[in-house]
Every structure is written in structure tokens, then in C-alpha cells.
Amino acid sequence: MSNEPSNSTVLVGVIGGSGLYNLGGLTVNPETPWGYPSSPITIASLPPGIPIAFLARHGTQHTYSPSSVPARANIAALKSIGVKAILAFSAVGSLREDIKPGDFIIPSQIIDRTKGIRPASFFEGTSVVAHAGFGDPFDGKLTSWLMQEVRKSLKEKNVDLHVDKCVVCMEGPQFSTRAESTMYRQWGGDIINMSVLPEAKLAREAELSYALIATATDYDSWRPNEAAVTAADVVKTLKKNADISRHVAAVVLTDLHAAVAEGGILTDSIGCMRSAIVRPAKSPEDIRKLHYILPEYFPVLS
């Protein structure tokens, strides 16, 4: 029997952020060793019958604050149903004049300003020590593929796309002070959110290709003569951005599924943890747990 993925295999997962809570379809809700994902995963069927998994990062009723999103369960659940590449959406503040509310951004770098309160590794609490490479936090091949395709899909809607930008991930839930917002600009930050970490780190540990499509909702708080950002400012732009995100998803996902099935896009992610594991599992429980995300390195002998 062939192990080649067919058109009926789920290969691409979409994580929807603030404002993007569904794509429609049948649902599954796998319990992982790290608990349940933030929402049941819906399997939407795109013409011509391509299955795409969708998960709402904050839950379908926006129940989870950025610090409490069960990111390990989310990534593990997507991997458990066969997903190999994740396209994540996120509402972000802009730290640059030329990135206007309503613009789309595909970043290539991250500055971590979370506070260490979010579980950020699948190996935490186990006997395994592993150091995933994270110099390039987004998958380069997936990001390059998306740049072309997303740009085409946004042209029809007259929306600008910025690429190769740096996203600052802050803890929240409060927004930044004016001093912090100004400092992030000096550090080289271009956009800011509260959600890309630990999601991107966990995708790397699970050997999944991961890229972010960010949608700007506001100018954060660095502009001296303008009011600082409020949640109301963000919410004002969310619906329009979510509608355009759905358009982008509808245009790119069928071809992305085909590119993932062909495999070339995955060559940097598959196998990336092989040399990252510096201490193997010391207990059958740890092997069983880690088998869920990395079965090749943690085989369960029956």
C-alpha cells in the first residue's frame, strides 16, 4: 500500500486568531497528552474536496486570553490528525508608519517579550532535554511560497502586503506603554502581538512547517500625538481583516495542500529535531507522551 498522501488526507492546518473563529466543516476534538485544544478542530472541504483543518486559537467564543491559550494541545492535536504545515493568522499592532491598519504582513523574525509563564516546550516536565533550532522562527520555504500566493490574492482586494518583518510577541493582556512601544521600534520590531509564541516554538518542536499571516489593526502606542491603542480600536478593524483573511485562505489553501503533498515545502521541518535531542527519554511514560508528537524519535514498542 502507498504511503503517499492523497487528496483526502489533512495536510494543512489553519489557526485563526482574534476575529477569525471558523471556516466551516465537520469537527473532531482529540484529547492530547497536554489536554484538549482551545477549540474543536473543524475539517473544511475545499473544492475539489481538499480537507483543511481549522482551529480557533482563543476558542470559538474567544474564551482564552493570549497567556492561557493551550498552545501545546493545539499544536499536538493538529499534528495528531496528520497536519504537516500550519498557516496561522494573527491581529497585530503596527510599529511602523508604512504598515497601516488593514495591511497584511508575513514576518520572518520574532522578538520574545513573553514572561515565561506560558508552557513553551513539549519536553518541559519530562526527562528529555532538547534544544530546537529557532534562528529562523518561521519556515523559510513555506513563507517564500506564501509571499507570492498571498500577494496575488490581496491584489484583487487592493490590500498591501509587507514581507520580511519582525514581530514582537508581548505577554499582555494589557497593551504596551508608550515607552515600550517606542523601545520596540528601536529594537527593530515592525509589528506586535501576544500570540505567535509559544505557538511557533511548539510547531518547530513538532517538526511542523509554520508561517504567520499578520493583519494590522492599529498603530499601537508609539505615535506621540495620537491616542494609545485600545481594544475598541482593534475590534473596529478585526471584522474587515477577518473577511480578507477568509478570502486569502480560500484562494491559497488548495494550492498549498498540493505543495505540501508534493513535499518540497517540508524539507526543512521534517527531521529538524533529530539532532536537537541531547538527552533521551528515561521513562516509558515520557516515551508514550512524546510519541504523540514525534513518533519517529520516541517509538512505542508493542
Ligand X SMILES: Nc1ncnc2[nH]cnc12
Residue ranges binding ligand LNRAV4D5 (CB under 6 A)? 17-18, 57-58, 66, 90-91, 193-195, 231, 234
- Rounded to the nearest whole angstrom, what is the least distance from the CB of residue 302 to ligand LNRAV4D5 in the complex? 39
Q: Are 111 and 184 in contact (CB under 8 A)?
A: yes
Is 233 a known active-site residue? Answer: no
Residue 64 labeled ligand binder: no
Please state whether beta strands 85-94 and 12-16 pair in parallel, antiparallel, or not at all (unpaired): parallel
The alpha carbon of 26 is separated from its chain's Cα centroid by a whole number of angstroms, namely: 21
The alpha carbon of 58 is separated from its chain's Cα centroid by a whole number of angstroms, namely: 12
- Which ranges constitute the DSSP H helices of the chain? 71-80, 140-155, 178-187, 199-205, 231-262, 284-291
Q: Smaller CB distance to ligand LNRAV4D5: residue 194 or 290?
A: 194
- Rounded to the nearest whole angstrom, what is the least distance from the CB of residue 91 to ligand LNRAV4D5 in the complex? 4
Q: Smaller CB distance to ligand X: residue 23 or 91?
A: 91
**Could you tell which of ligand X, ligand LNRAV4D5, none binds residue 126, using a CB distance below 5 to 8 A set by kind?**
none
Binding site for ligand X (CB under 6 A): 91-93, 170, 175, 192-194, 217-218, 220, 229, 234
Determine the Cα–Cα distance for residues 266 and 141; give it in Å rounded to an integer: 7
- Rounded to the nearest whole angstrom, what is the least distance from the CB of residue 118 to ligand LNRAV4D5 in the complex? 12
Grouping H, G, I as helix, E, B as strand and the rest as coil, residue 44 is strand
**Could you tell which of ligand LNRAV4D5, ligand X, none binds residue 32, using a CB distance below 5 to 8 A set by kind?**
none
Q: For residue 173, is the peptide bond before it cis, meaning its omega torsion is within 30 degrees of 0?
A: yes
Q: Smaller CB distance to ligand X: residue 173 or 284?
A: 173
Q: Which of 103, 139, 190, 218 is catalytic?
A: 218
3 Cβ contact list (under 8 Å, min separation 6): none
- Rounded to the nearest whole angstrom, what is the least distance from the CB of residue 50 to ligand X in the complex? 30
**Could you tell which of ligand X, ligand LNRAV4D5, none binds residue 17, using a CB distance below 5 to 8 A set by kind?**
ligand LNRAV4D5
Q: Are 120 and 47 in contact (CB under 8 A)?
A: no
Q: Smaller CB distance to ligand X: residue 209 or 215?
A: 215
Kindly report the backbone phi and psi dihedral angles of residue 36, in degrees, each rounded to the nearest multiple of 5, phi listed first. Answer: -90, 150
Q: Are 13 and 83 in contact (CB under 8 A)?
A: yes
Residue 18 labeled ligand binder: yes
Residue 90 labeled ligand binder: yes
Kindly list the distances between the CA atom of residue 75 and the CA atoms of 47, 64, 105, 135, in Å, as whole numbers in the listed order: 26, 16, 22, 20
Q: Which of 139, 190, 220, 233 is catalytic?
A: 220
Q: Smaller CB distance to ligand X: residue 199 or 218?
A: 218
Q: Choose among 61, 66, 72: nearest CA to 30.
A: 72
**Could you tell which of ligand X, ligand LNRAV4D5, none binds residue 93, using a CB distance below 5 to 8 A set by kind?**
ligand X
Annotated binding site for phosphate: 18, 57-58, 90-91, 195
Catalytic residues: 218, 220
Annotated binding site for substrate: 194, 218-220
